[in-house]
Amino acid sequence: MLENYFPILLFVLVGLAIGILPVAMGRILAPHRPDAEKLSAYECGFEAFGDARVKFDVRYYLIAIIFILFDLEIAFLFPWGAVFKDIAASEPMKFFGFIEVVVFLAIILVGDAYAWAKGALDWE
């Protein structure tokens, strides 16, 4: 019974070796000569100023959420494009497939127009 699990154990061990072995080799073989310049904090070429825990403007999150929404909606077009040949080959499905994607794009455009009208895409 346990011999059935041997390939899984081997897979896990090889995965761990691939993940741990290069890090361990780098730690052992690489030269370690720290100095003040290497240990200094690097942030865009100059020393950090202020607190790193400042609150971001809500507009930043709003733009990020809108981007994710529209990005996911566009990702829904890929399956439609993948079966486009099948849709175009069938005469009754040709018109239905076209109307379907037009309705989908219209919904996306209405959402984009709404976000634009509400000023969600404006950055002052």
Looking at the structure, tell me whether residues 64 and 35 fall in a common domain: no
pLDDT band of residue 56 (cuts 50, 70, 90) is confident
Looking at the structure, tell me whether residues 111 and 64 fall in a common domain: yes
Range of the domain at 106: 58-117
Residue 6 identity (one-letter amino acid): F
Question: Lowest-confidence range among 25-39, 55-69, 75-89, 101-115?
Answer: 55-69
For residue 14, what pLDDT is reported?
Answer: 97
Instruction: Read off the pTM.
Output: 0.49
Looking at the structure, tell me whether residues 31 and 66 fall in a common domain: no
Overall number of domains in the chain: 2
